[in-house]
Structure 1
Amino acid sequence: MTVTPLADLPDVLLITPKRFGDLRGWFSETWSRKAMLAAGVDTDFVQDNQALNAKKGTLRGLHFQKAPHAQGKLVRVLQGAIFDVAVDIRAGSPTYGKWAGATLTAEAGEQLWVPRGFAHGYCTLTDDTMLFYKVDGLYAPETEGGLAWNDPDLAIAWPLDGEPVLSDKDKTLPRLRDLGPVSF
């Protein structure tokens, strides 16, 4: 397993599990507590989630959960490809308001570790994209929050051809400057 901190947000990790192949196909260890501890990630996952996105250009996010139900996420793609983004929203952080992104594909098996204190979102690069992600906090709708995907102060370089497919909720999320302090 290769673990690479993203340059702009070193707390966000790009994780590429090794694949061992032969004439039958391949095998990959997608989570190793030992490897993640060595990379400085000490977490216990409590829930697994899966999402199917029917259309290329579907954009989900930027989402987070506040304390006492903050979540760290380990995201991977089972089918298709995404551009995955994390935004640092930890008050007082030297990288507050900065974003980093990575392309994750089913073909290569990359994963993204998004720690607590970051808003998370992704844009699908193919039709019928399926994601799987582990979270270290249970879903608690009363603690949900989000940021506008197109906040000009963030200036995220989403790889979109035209307008994204958005949920009604994601169309009305606030800009970072209107968010106010959030505890994680």
Structure 2
Amino acid sequence: MRDQEAWLCFADESGQVLRPPKARTWSRCGHTPRVTVRGAGSGRISLAGVVCRRPGRPTRLIFRMLVHHGRKGERKGFREKDFAALMDAAHQQLGGPLVLVWDNYTHHVDAAMRELIEARSWLTVFRFPSYTPDLNPAEGVWAHLKNSLGNLAPCSLDELAALARTRLKRMQYQPGLLDGFIAETGIIPAPP
């Protein structure tokens, strides 16, 4: 990786619905806090993110979001071409070859994805062993995001998408936080 001046990238996907994740809060003794949630609708937001690290450069987060309102014919999640577009965007923004490490999700290992990977000479792909989310720093991004969305009750998917986008953009400007997600996995020691 150092010889190639390549970026080491960790990718993963996540999703969120209108029902907020469970979180802790404070209230007066004897008064259980309640968050009113609008339960209508079957939509969700799908997220794909890449945590990118290269020695001597700040760690970067690149993400994409799809909002699925539950309408007929609307995409429900990321497909092979979406992942390829995310990798193309990462390559363009980072300006160098990428070494991608991700899980064995169906859309990552099928023939269409292998074909898209082979068409990109600047991309080298490795896979995590099965059932090892604790090795992927992108999981830390999703955990941090969901923790920050705890106890919030957005009224619409568009409002939820705006909240998630704001929090992810905030993380993009905190390379130290992203370094912490990488260090937490134990794969690479934190930079000095």
TM bracket (short chain): under 0.3
Q: Which has the higher Rg, Structure 1 or Structure 2?
A: 2
TM-score by length of 2: 0.21
- Give the structure with the larger strand fraction: 1
TM-score by length of 1: 0.22
- Give the structure with the larger helix fraction: 2
